[in-house]
Amino acid sequence: MKSRIHYTKPSITEREIEYANDAVSNGWGPRCYEYIARFEEAFKKYLGVKHAIATSSCTGAMHMGLSGLGVGPGDEVILADINWVATAAPITYLGATPVLVDVDPVSWCIDPARVEQAITEKTKAIIAVHLYGNVCDMRRLFDIGERHGIAVVEDAAEAIGSQYHEQKAGSNGVFGTFSFHGSKTVTTGEGGMFVTNNDALFEKVLTLSNHGRSAGQLKQFWPDMIGFKYKLSNVQAAIGLAQMERIEDLVADKRRVFEAYSSLLEGLPITMNPEPSDTINGYWMPTFIVDPLVKFDRNNFIAHLGMNGIDGRAFFWPLSDTGHFDRCLPSPVAHSLFSRGVNLPSYYDLSAGDIERVADCVRQFLGAN
């Protein structure tokens, strides 16, 4: 029996175990925030930003960031229709309205032209989600934001290791958010990060992150505002710190896996994650889109992988199909991509033989359909 090829697994070494054991054994009392602070410092250094706040999830980081911007009832926030719901949900927590627009057919990320069409007097922010490691067209989005006085935010949950014009994904917007879910390139099991270069926004979100208690408040247990509790634990941060000390190798391995797939699948009627000039793709999830003129049943393909002991993932559903959102502009590109897109297995100890095995299954299926 061949071993099963999972779609994702984390890379955990003796370093992560050592740091986690130290946090469990000694990270209490005066050391209860030590690994959190070290993790935040390492993340700031890697990203080249001024401020970072470790959180329990990317969702929590987005919730606090949008709240810090003053997003609330009556406001609208524009984002792409193809996304995981975690990007849209925090908008609703604040009583604001997600506005879903179509994606660009090349990047699979939010289409700036559709953003421009969706702007109203209620628009408070634009969220640029770097899907599967692909990078949004930030220059066009920033131009739109500047002309209309609208904040541009980055959801880089899937894009650590990606770059746009020599700047790390997530470091360009008014704020950025990251995920450390167990499937991500850097993991803490569950977790996230809020980052910004804006001093005032950082102070606001830092206060919000501690139940509304400001750093300068002298009264004990006194909330200066109603805030949140999205703190990452010291033990999780210890794992995150070890991962950040290995970040270059982790990203390099992701790129190795993608490049192997790209070579082995060359010539098939598919398109894989793009890497335009002046960008670097961290290739969190190697993804292919089958050409529209080719007969392809995505569910049958994933079942075909499963019968061969291989896991595959469907491309994200268009959020407009879920029935949870009222402001949905036409998104023909998003719907076309969804039906033709698949995520392939990608993890650090995926061997050349494993990748060949996956590629052979892709070739068999597409050759028979």
CATH of the domain at 62: 3.40.640.10
Q: Could you tell me if 308 and 184 lie in one domain?
A: no
Predicted structure pTM score = 0.96
Q: Which of 190, 216, 244 corresponds to the end of one domain? A: 244
Tell me if 1 is assigned to some domain: no
Tell me if 220 is assigned to some domain: yes
Q: Could you tell me if 298 and 318 lie in one domain?
A: yes
Tell me if 143 is assigned to some domain: yes
SS3 186: coil
Distance in angstroms (rounded) separating the CA atoms of residues 83 and 100:
10
Q: Could you tell me if 138 and 255 lie in one domain?
A: no
Question: Tens-digit pLDDT profile for the chain (369 aa)?
Answer: 679 999 999 999 999 999 999 999 999 999 999 999 999 999 999 999 999 999 999 999 999 999 999 999 999 999 999 999 999 999 999 999 999 999 999 999 999 999 999 999 999 999 999 999 999 999 999 999 999 999 999 999 999 999 999 999 999 999 999 999 999 999 999 999 999 999 999 999 999 999 999 988 889 899 999 999 999 999 999 999 999 999 999 999 999 999 999 999 999 999 999 999 999 999 999 999 999 999 999 999 999 999 999 999 999 999 999 999 999 999 999 999 999 999 999 999 899 999 999 999 999 999 855
CB count in 10 Å sphere of residue 360: 13
Q: Could you tell me if 223 and 301 lie in one domain?
A: no
Q: Could you tell me if 283 and 173 lie in one domain?
A: no
CB 80 within 8 A of CB 103: yes
Q: Could you tell me if 223 and 356 lie in one domain?
A: no
Which domain covers residue 358, as residue numbers? 248-368
Q: What CATH number should be reported for the domain holding residue 302? A: 3.90.1150.10
Tell me if 323 is assigned to some domain: yes
Q: Could you tell me if 213 and 272 lie in one domain?
A: no
Q: Could you tell me if 171 and 292 lie in one domain?
A: no
Chain position carrying tokens 């014009």: 165
Domain count, the chain: 2
Q: Which of 228, 244, 260 corresponds to the end of one domain? A: 244
Query: What is the DSSP code (8-state) at residue 233?
Result: P
Tell me if 337 is assigned to some domain: yes
Q: Could you tell me if 163 and 35 lie in one domain?
A: yes
Q: Report pLDDT digits (tens) over 156-202.
A: 999 999 999 999 999 999 999 999 999 999 999 999 999 999 999 99
Q: Could you tell me if 75 and 130 lie in one domain?
A: yes
Q: Report pLDDT digits (tens) over 32-51.
A: 999 999 999 999 999 999 99
CA distances from 267 to 72, 263, 264, 315, 360 (A): 49, 9, 9, 22, 13
Q: Which of 244, 263, 292 corresponds to the end of one domain? A: 244
Tell me if 184 is assigned to some domain: yes
Distance in angstroms (rounded) separating the CA atoms of residues 8 and 348:
9
